């Protein structure tokens, strides 16, 4: 058993979720409010360590009316436990789980960050040898009572999650902007597939304008 997973992101028309320098302010005000509504509805929100290092997100519900208990559990997929000691994702606003890989856990146990995070109430889940085992992480989160999970990037984790068949729905905000750049992160990076026949197939379920942006909702076909 695993949570129902909604991948949400904002991209430019050319599929970039950040510029080549890491700038990622893409959504308009209305879209940010939509994102925070999804956060409020979900039991957990998950990002990769690349996103924590690039953006230092809080991953709380703070752009719409919300109570502290509306904040989802925050999950960071971080094999080597590189989450910085002052990362906002580990603050007291919500529960946090760091998912690491077994290879790195003993070294991490000796670090000051481990003690600090433990004292802040951060929980840890260990799986995989050198990289987090995403299906095992999903099962663990489900056992922890997480029925709905919002995946908020980034590009590498998005691809691993969809390749593993762990995404049910995609909600994408397409902003009317073009930034180019072969080194700019796209919606899905990772290894990629060799053939179009291997592509993960989607079905469009909804489509509407929101301010200047376009919101598309897709079901991931199994």
Ligand X SMILES: NC(=O)c1ccc[n+]([C@@H]2O[C@H](COP(=O)([O-])OP(=O)(O)OC[C@H]3O[C@@H](n4cnc5c(N)ncnc54)[C@H](OP(=O)(O)O)[C@@H]3O)[C@@H](O)[C@H]2O)c1
Binding residues vs ligand X (CB under 6 A) = 9-10, 17-18, 22, 24, 26, 47-51, 54-55, 77-80, 82, 131-132, 134, 152-157, 160, 185, 189
Per the listing, tokens 């960071």 go with: 76
65 token code pair: 């009316």
- CA dihedral of 98, 104, 106, 109, whole degrees rounded to 10: -40
For the bound state, the minimum distance from the C-beta of residue 73 to ligand X, rounded and expressed in Å, comes to: 17
Instruction: Tell me whether residue 20 or residue 68 sits nearer to ligand X (CB atom).
Output: 20
Closest distance of CB 48 from ligand X, Å: 2
Please report how close the Cβ of residue 131 comes to ligand X at its closest, in angstroms. Answer: 4
128 or 202: CB nearest ligand X = 128
Report in angstroms how near the CB of residue 97 gets to ligand X at its nearest: 13
Report residue 35 as tokens. 């994102």
Taking the complex as a whole, the smallest distance from the CB of residue 50 to ligand X amounts, in Å, to: 2
213 CB-contact burial (10 Å; exposed 0-12 / middle 13-18 / buried 19+): buried
Give the residue with the Cβ less far from ligand X, 22 or 192: 22
Q: Which long-range contacts (CB under 8 A, 24 or more apart) does 143-148 make?
A: 143/1, 144/73, 144/97, 145/43, 146/3, 146/43, 146/44, 146/73, 147/3, 147/4, 147/43, 148/3, 148/4, 148/5, 148/6, 148/41, 148/42, 148/43, 148/44
C-beta of 68 vs 178, nearer to ligand X: 178
- Residue 21 or 68: the one with the smaller Cβ distance to ligand X is 21
**78 or 213: whose CB is closer to ligand X?**
78
CB 112 within 8 A of CB 84: no
The DSSP output letter for 177 is -
Least distance in Å: CB of 13 to ligand X?
13
């Amino acid at each position: 058993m695993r949570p129902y997973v909604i991948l949400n992101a904002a991209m430019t028309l050319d599929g970039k979720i950040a510029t080549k320098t890491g700038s990622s302010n893409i959504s308009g005000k209305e879209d940010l409010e939509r994102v925070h509504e999804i956060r409020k509805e979900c039991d957990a929100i998950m990002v990769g360590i690349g996103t924590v290092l690039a953006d230092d997100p809080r991953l709380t519900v703070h752009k719409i009316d919300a109570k502290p208990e509306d904040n989802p559990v925050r999950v960071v997929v971080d094999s080597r436990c590189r989450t910085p000691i002052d990362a906002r994702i580990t603050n007291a606003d919500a529960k946090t789980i760091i998912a690491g890989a077994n290879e790195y856990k003993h070294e991490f146990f000796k670090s000051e960050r481990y003690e600090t995070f433990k004292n802040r109430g951060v929980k840890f889940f260990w799986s995989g040898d050198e990289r987090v085992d995403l299906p095992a992480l999903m099962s663990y989160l489900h056992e922890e009572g997480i029925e709905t999970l919002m995946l908020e990037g980034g590009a590498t984790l998005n691809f691993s999650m969809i390749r593993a068949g762990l995404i049910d729905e995609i909600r994408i905000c397409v902003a009317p902007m073009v930034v180019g750049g072969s080194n700019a992160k796209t919606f899905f990076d990772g290894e990629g597939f060799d053939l179009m026949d291997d592509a993960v197939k989607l079905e469009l379920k909804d489509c509407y304008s929101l301010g200047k942006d376009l919101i598309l909702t897709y079901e991931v076909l199994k």
